[in-house]
Amino acid sequence: EPEVTQTPSHQVTQMGQEVILRCVPISNHLYFYWYRQILGQKVEFLVSFYNNEISEKSEIFDDQFSVERPDGSNFTLKIRSTKLEDSAMYFCASSEETKNTEAFFGQGTRLTVV
């Protein structure tokens, strides 16, 4: 069964450092997403991406965040200058369409900012 893969599974970084979280969505999917989940809290939407541009972003997704699809397979989330409160699980997801279809989620990257 096709799956969304994320790397690394765990990333530890120092506050103020830049991190890039990587995702390989399912190959025929056109819509890509990032979500995050702070420990013990809800899964929160960060950004959706379609046709090489952001289609929607949340208030969390400020200027410190950016997304990119650098080639035909990867989808990345960059945090320019990490803060302690960026520590969370980050989930990538993809879907074929946005209506009447399911989103497939990766297993997540646990980001720890120290």
In the list 19, 21, 25, 33, the residue contacting another protein (rule: CB under 8 A) is: 33
Of 38-97, which residues contact another protein (CB under 8 A)? 42-45, 48, 50, 55-56, 89, 91, 93, 95
Query: Which amino acid type is present at position 105?
Result: F
Q: Which is nearer to another protein, 3 or 18 (CB)?
A: 3
Dist CA 56 CA 59 (whole Å) = 10
Dist CA 65 CA 61 (whole Å) = 6
Check binding of 9 to another protein (CB under 8 A): no
Cβ-based burial of 101 (10 A; exposed 0-12, middle 13-18, buried ≥19): exposed
Interface residues toward another protein, by CB under 8 A: 4, 31, 33, 35, 37, 42-45, 48, 50, 55-56, 89, 91, 93, 95, 98-100, 102-108
